[in-house]
Amino acid sequence: MPTCATPNASIVVGAQWGDEGKGKWIDILASKADIIARFQGGNNAGHTLYINNEKIVLHQIPSGIFHNDKISIITAGVVVSPVQLLKEIEEVQRVAEISPKNFWLSTRAHVITPWHMYLDSLFETNAKNPIGTTKKGIGPTYADRANRTGLRIASYIDNAQYNQWISMMCESQPGFKDHIQQNQSLWTEFANAASEISKYATEAEASLRKELKNGKKLLLEGAQGTLLDLSFGTFPFVTSSCTTSGGALASIGLSPKCVDKITGVAKAYITRVGEGPFPTELTDEIGKELGRKGNEFGATTNRPRRCGWFDAVAMRYAADINGFDDIYLNKMDILSGFKTIKVAVAYKHPKLGNITEFPACAHILKEIVPIYEEYAGWEEDISSAKEFSQLPLNAQRYVRALEEHCGTMVSYVGTGPNRQDAIAVPH
Ligand code: IMP
């Protein structure tokens, strides 16, 4: 029996350091899918959506939830904050229906507990070189999963199993028992969330495989971005999950044979939150202006994002690792008004010379300087353009230059935050 009736899964991942604006595209693509699944990360992510001009930020629930007839899944590879999830369910209920019929939570997903949040904060505060994490407990939860001491949804919603886990942790983890005793209200709120959460808990991956065998279409939604991937990002300044297309399949237990399309989402420039090397970062007025015009503040932590020119070296790397069929290029409208726009096409290292491949080590990346190509900018506001031919010629040239530098076609250009602000690029 083949895994899928035909390859019927598409994957959308971030091509940069996250915050590329994946939510909007996933929302658009969700109309063509039957099932939308979030495959990694936790409430460190924030997808901002504008539905009927209303701003909605989702941290854990897939953006597809706003399409009535679709199923949304949080899969095994995700780490879940139950209290935050309940808040999100309430938020969704303001504008859409959410029930165990259209929202499945994998019993295999791991749970972020108050302990994990505490550890994340503790490590960050005490670290000589902090990562700049979101302090949501993501790293320690994934660490406990790898250590085989983590708490899965299946055990969290089962009283006896939950109590066994608490006992095991009290015996094996120094400080855990004290943390419970000193933070009783936090732990009570956490434990109380289980009964409401349990409504949605199910063996999601098994049900998903059945649906795919029946020809249903799946959209896999990534969080964060390729350069934050645990293995292929700028380690150690990365998140603790696999953010790439390959990671998607491992996190949902699906055969690569099911995949028919892989899309990377990128901004027309680049941003990063938290610490870590960032070759094209602009610490000058231009960087500040990109941040102001692009409203570059983290959806989860509200921290200002660091801004820089588009990095084609990093993009080629992301395209290679993920096997992008195409790129959706966001926030082109933000570049209006810049006289000159730069693109990093290679790096120069003081000892290694010119580099055209993205280096594996953060310290090398920190030492390089980008080699730029410059493009003439455009003055016009492009937010009302509906077709590629309506974009200023210099904007069209910029898109074509990025395609050339990245070796991947740009299928859509984003010119604003709403669903309709998307222009198809002819090929
Ligand atoms: P953590 O995922 O909270 O452990 O943080 C690790 C790194 O990933 C930090 O640099 C965070 O700022 C970054 N990060 C985590 N989630 C996101 C996101 O959704 N967008 C952008 N950066 C993120």
Q: Tell me: the pLDDT tens digits for 267-295?
A: 999 999 999 999 999 999 999 999 999 99
Instruction: Using the predicted structure, report yes or no on whether residue 256 has a pLDDT greater than 70.
Output: yes
**Is the CB–ligand 1 distance for residue 244 below 6 Å?**
no
**Residue 140 C-alpha to ligand 1 middle, in angstroms?**
13
**Residue 391 C-alpha to ligand 1 middle, in angstroms?**
33
**Strand, helix or coil for residue 224:** coil
Q: What is the pLDDT of residue 336?
A: 97
Q: What is the pLDDT of residue 369?
A: 97
**Long-range CB contacts (within 8 A, 24+) of 231-236:** 232/321, 234/276, 234/277, 234/362, 234/365, 235/362, 236/131, 236/362
Over residues 38-53, mean pLDDT: 84
Q: What is the pLDDT of residue 380?
A: 95
Residue nearest to atom 2 of ligand 1 (CA): 239
Q: What pLDDT digit, counting tens, does each position of 238-249 carry?
A: 999 999 999 999
Nearest CA among 59, 50, 52, 51 for reference residue 87: 59
Atom of ligand 1 nearest to the CA of 273: 12
**Residue 244 C-alpha to ligand 1 middle, in angstroms?**
15
DSSP 276-295: S--TTB--SHHHHHHHHHTT
- Which pair of tokens denotes residue 21? 């604006």
Q: What pLDDT digit, counting tens, does each position of 328-365 carry?
A: 999 999 999 999 999 999 999 999 999 999 999 999 99
User: Residue 196 and residue 201: Cα distance in Å, rounded?
Assistant: 10
**Is the CB–ligand 1 distance for residue 133 below 6 Å?**
yes
Kindly indicate the confidence band of residue 91, based on its pLDDT and cuts at 50, 70 and 90: confident
Instruction: Using the predicted structure, report yes or no on whether residue 68 has a pLDDT greater than 90.
Output: no
Active site residue 320: no
Instruction: Using the predicted structure, report yes or no on whether residue 49 has a pLDDT greater than 90.
Output: no
**Strand, helix or coil for residue 320:** helix
**Residue 44 C-alpha to ligand 1 middle, in angstroms?**
6
User: Residue 394 and residue 375: Cα distance in Å, rounded?
Assistant: 8
Kindly indicate the confidence band of residue 418, based on its pLDDT and cuts at 50, 70 and 90: confident
**Is the CB–ligand 1 distance for residue 271 below 6 Å?**
no
What is the CB neighbour count within 10 angstroms for residue 69?
7
Atom of ligand 1 nearest to the CA of 133: 5
Q: What is the pLDDT of residue 54?
A: 73
Torsions phi, psi of 194, nearest 5? -60, -40
**Residue 149 C-alpha to ligand 1 middle, in angstroms?**
23
**Is the CB–ligand 1 distance for residue 224 below 6 Å?**
yes
Q: Mean pLDDT in the chain?
A: 95
Q: Which residues contact 87 (CB under 8 A, 6 or more apart)?
A: none
Sole residue written with tokens 């399309």: 261
**Is the CB–ligand 1 distance for residue 131 below 6 Å?**
yes
**Is the CB–ligand 1 distance for residue 139 below 6 Å?**
yes
Residue nearest to atom 5 of ligand 1 (CA): 133
Q: Which residues contact 350 (CB under 8 A, 6 or more apart)?
A: 367
Q: What is the pLDDT of residue 66?
A: 87
Residue 57, CB-side half-sphere exposure with 13 Å CA sphere: 14
Return the amino acid letter for 234.
T
Over residues 185-203, mean pLDDT: 97
Q: What pLDDT digit, counting tens, does each position of 372-383 carry?
A: 999 999 999 999
Active site residue 47: yes
Kindly indicate the confidence band of residue 1, based on its pLDDT and cuts at 50, 70 and 90: low
Q: Which residues contact 42 (CB under 8 A, 6 or more apart)?
A: 59, 60, 78, 79, 80, 81, 112, 136, 137, 138, 141
Over residues 72-95, mean pLDDT: 94
Sole residue written with tokens 């701003």: 55
The active-site residue, picked from 34, 47, 144, 333, is 47
Nearest CA among 314, 293, 326, 296 for reference residue 370: 314
Instruction: Using the predicted structure, report yes or no on whether residue 368 has a pLDDT greater than 80.
Output: yes
Residue 214 burial (CB < 10 Å; 0-12/13-18/19+)?
exposed
Over residues 191-215, mean pLDDT: 96
